[in-house]
Amino acid sequence: MALSDRHIELHRDPHSGEVLAHGGDEEAHSILQRAGFIHIRRQHEQYHRVPAGLDQAAEKALATTAVSALRSVGYWVACDEPFDTDRLTAYELPLGARVAALAESLRQATSTQDAAAVLTELTAAHDGVLAALGQVLDETAEFLDTFDQGFDRHTAATLRSLSGHHLAIVAAQLHQLRTELADRHEDHPARRRCPSEVADNEREASVHCPCLIPALPPRPPAPPPARRL
């Protein structure tokens, strides 16, 4: 990761008066968004700003929360004096990161059963990830319908279409794939389970797995001795 990606500037713009945050990587952007900032993408730049319509007290509270959260996980934040704080925020693994851990499980899967178990977390009928996503889309649609405005009703209908039709196609395809993998009972051709658990006759409990120790490259041959004229 570039050092510049760990640096964020958070200031009130002297021209527009908006509180803006520049810099950072994707993780920093997620932290800013969870603090309440809005991500703005332009053709040649991207930045974050506070929502419109806030008074200065609310803007200060939002910016201070962002500074605290960013510094708590090691980002260097340069900010205006009103937003500066020494308070640190307890970090909790976001829900999206816990779902993304399924990808790491697939990278470590050594058999079709392992892969099927991961896909089960996506496709489980009652509490799988896709079922939960459908509930969130439906509830968002219900929320928009209460405003009783034409644009909101149109957006709600779009969300219901995503939840009902498009998400159902994704779920059906993944469910079929999960079934096929569960029935195959095959090991991954390029991966294997680590066989070096501590054996019954092994006295040293600190034994290390040899497959985790990379083999050293062969030592290059020694150069020929110099010839004297």
43, pLDDT greater than 90: no
pLDDT mean over 91-120: 91
* Residue 188: per-residue pLDDT: 86
For 177-217, how does the pLDDT look when each residue is reduced to its tens digit (9 = 90+)?
A: 999 999 998 888 887 666 555 566 666 666 555 554 444 45
For 141-159, how does the pLDDT look when each residue is reduced to its tens digit (9 = 90+)?
A: 999 999 878 889 999 999 9
219, pLDDT greater than 60: no
Non-local CB neighbours of 62 within 8 Å, separated by 6+ positions: 19, 35, 36, 37, 50, 54
pTM, 2 dp: 0.71
Q: What is the 3-state secondary structure (H, E, C) of 130-186?
A: HHHHHHHHHHHHHHHHCCCCHHHHHHHHHHHHHHHHHHHHHHHHHHHHHHHHHHHCC
Average pLDDT, the chain: 86
In the β-sheet with 46-49, what is the strand arrangement from edge to edge? Answer: 38-41, 46-49, 19-23, 7-12, 76-79
Please give the share of the chain, as a percent, with pLDDT higher than 90. Answer: 66
Phi-psi region of 47 (alpha: psi -120 to 50; beta: other; left: phi over 0): beta
* Residue 216: per-residue pLDDT: 46
Residue 102 contacts residue 114 (beta carbons within 8 Å)? no
Please give the share of the chain, as a percent, with pLDDT higher than 70. Answer: 82
Work out the burial of residue 72: count CB atoms within 10 Å of its CB; fewer than 13 is exposed, 13-18 middle, 19 or more buried: middle
Other CB atoms within 10 Å distance of the CB of residue 158: 13
* Residue 178: per-residue pLDDT: 93
User: Minimal CA–CA distance to 75: which of 67, 63, 86?
Assistant: 67
**Does residue 98 sit in helix, strand or coil?**
helix
* Residue 64: per-residue pLDDT: 97
Residue 79 contacts residue 66 (beta carbons within 8 Å)? no
Quick one: tokens of 161? 């279409």
